[in-house]
Amino acid sequence: MGKKTKIGLAAVAVGAAAWAGSKALATPQTRPGKDVLDYGHPIVLAHRGGGAIAPENTMAAFRKSAELGVHGFEIDIRLSKNEEILVFHDEYLDRTTDGAGRVADMTLKELSEFDLGYHFVDPSGKTTYRGKGEKIVLLRDLLEAFPQMFINIDMKDSPETYEGSLIPSKLWRLIDSLGVHDRVVVTSFYDEQIDRFNLYAQNRVAIGAGENEVKKAYTAFNSQFGHLYNPRADVFQIPVRSSMFRLDLPRFIAFLANLNIPVHYWTIDDPEVMKGLLAAGAQGIITGRPDLAVALISEMEDQTQ
């Protein structure tokens, strides 16, 4: 046996011993259950209120989706200049309103002057909401208007900005003051923002996974050391693909499910894709077409009865 072969075999043996030792010593840490995630069946979350059927993040969209029978909303929040928490996705107004400018540079009064239905085109190809009075929505108003709804809240402001430094504490105070701890999930692409929020919440509110947490989970799943992964999130809201990696693999969904972590996929508007994800084990569909998603899940439930 050559020297290189001996070294290779020794390395394999050391790796196998390390794996066996870690497997014997490690106890996978499942996430404790959260009431908001104890739904027992796949759910439909209207993306930005259902942004393909009515102007995104408007009361028109939220009302329409609620009437369709969605289980909740997936929304984004930002802070205004006078530190009001707004239901809004973009950093700038240009794409969704008749105005322009950065959201954080304007007061609520200034932002309320813009028409959020200005650019909207519905699935039929006709603009139907311009001039209909759809204005920017406060998170407080949304939470109070739909007390029965699951609401997934995504903090969009970067932690490096002034508004981003404030929003985790302000969001926690609002949730706590309204007593809605058990019907919201708080998340962000920025893991740092989630950590900041949880410093206040102390695990009293369900939290989602930031980009780094998703990468960490997928790396663990794809290695021989998945048993060493200790999750820091209660739910994963993810796309079906990230860069070159597929995140919709049934084994990945099962890996997270074994840790008591449901997976919701965004933004899924194709019924066939929805069907495939649900068959793979997904517990939530985040969609701009809640009309299609609710109909599909209802049909699937009828077929199983």
DSSP per residue, 159-199: TTSHHHHHHHHHHHHHHHHHT-GGGEEEE-S-HHHHHHHHH
Which pTM value belongs to this model? 0.89
State the pLDDT confidence band at 13, using cuts at 50, 70 and 90: very low
* φ, ψ (nearest 5 deg) of residue 192: -60, -40
- CATH of the structural domain 29-304, one choice from 3.40.50.460, 3.20.20.190, 3.40.50.1110, 3.40.640.10: 3.20.20.190
**b/e per residue 7-32 (b: at least 16 CB within 10 A):** eeeeeeeeeeeeeeeeeeeeeeeebe
pLDDT at 50: 96
Residue from 133, 153, 125, 157 nearest 63 by CA: 133
Residues annotated as catalytic are 47, 89
CA 108 to centroid of chain Cα atoms = 25
pLDDT at 69: 96
Tokens coding 185:
């999930």
List, in order, residues 6 or more apart from 160 with CB less than 8 Å away. Answer: none
Tokens coding 257:
């499910």
Q: What DSSP string describes 103-124?
A: GGGS-HHHHTTS-TTSS---TT
Is the pLDDT reported for residue 17 higher than 80?
no
Mean pLDDT on 145-165: 97
Distance CA 150, CA 157 (A): 22
The DSSP H or E segment spanning 245 is strand 245-246
Mean pLDDT on 100-108: 96
Distance CA 50, CA 66 (A): 10
Is the pLDDT reported for residue 103 higher than 50?
yes
* φ, ψ (nearest 5 deg) of residue 113: -80, -15
Is the pLDDT reported for residue 206 higher than 50?
yes
Mean pLDDT on 100-125: 93
Contact 41, 244 (CB under 8 A): no
Report pLDDT digits (tens) over 245-274: 899 999 999 999 999 999 999 999 999 999
Distance CA 31, CA 302 (A): 32
The residue among 155 and 9 whose pLDDT is bigger is 155
Question: Residue 125 burial (CB < 10 Å; 0-12/13-18/19+)?
Answer: exposed
